[in-house]
A and B are shown apart, each in its own frame.
Chain A
Amino acid sequence: GENVEQHPSTLSVQEGDSAVIKCTYSDSASNYFPWYKQELGKGPQLIIDIRSNVGEKKDQRIAVTLNKTAKHFSLHITETQPEDSAVYFCAAGDNDMRFGAGTRLTVKP
């Protein structure tokens, strides 16, 4: 089955800096890679996703890149703001999605 590893587990940046979170996956058949943001006491919120036929996708301050050959994908947040502070999860797969262990991002004002 699919196995997803996520790094780093914690990340602290100054407001305005960029943040990068990286994930690797094991199943070469996986073709869908979403990213979720989870705030305390809430369910995960989908923030961006990418399919395997695309190498990069951008939505305002958030971008995701995918390298299928190396089986890794990354989340990039630019111009970080304090409200970006949360736990971020990557995932891979379709119906039985496998999630990474999460990255706790702290943006210091």
Chain B
Amino acid sequence: DTGVSQNPRHKITKRGQNVTFRCDPISEHNRLYWYRQTLGQGPEFLTYFQNEAQLEKSRLLSDRFSAERPKGSFSTLEIQRTEQGDSAMYLCASSRDGRGRQYFGPGTRLTVT
């Protein structure tokens, strides 16, 4: 059990560019969650997957955001046409099932210049 991993750890991009982040959950964890955390705030829920199915999306997830978990293992979060307001820490978590504890990865810090 190596924990949740996220790549890259840091990403600096220019406004208008597309970025993609990857999350590898703890093995055998069926649920995978994405959160966004801005400075001085708690994580905000974005979306979650049960295996490969995306079951819920927050209203925070605008049309520029898309998440996938094609084989029910790793997940990607893509942001198109990035804006400065997208600058934040993007956190991934996984849990064994719907009643399970969520374990977080180290996050990907995005800076949009």
Contacts and interface: CB of A to CB of B under 8 A. Distances in A.
Interface residues of A, number: 23
A100 B45 CA distance: 12
A49 B95 CA distance: 14
Contacts of A91: 42
Contact of B103 (A6, A32, A46, A101): A46
Contact of A96 (B48, B101, B106): B48
Contact of B105 (A6, A43, A99): A43
A93 B27 CA distance: 23
Contacts of B55: 95
Nearest 7 Cβ contacts at the A-B interface: A99-B42, A43-B104, A96-B45, A43-B106, A44-B104, A89-B42, A43-B107
Interface of A: 4, 6, 32, 34, 36, 41-46, 49, 89, 91, 94-102
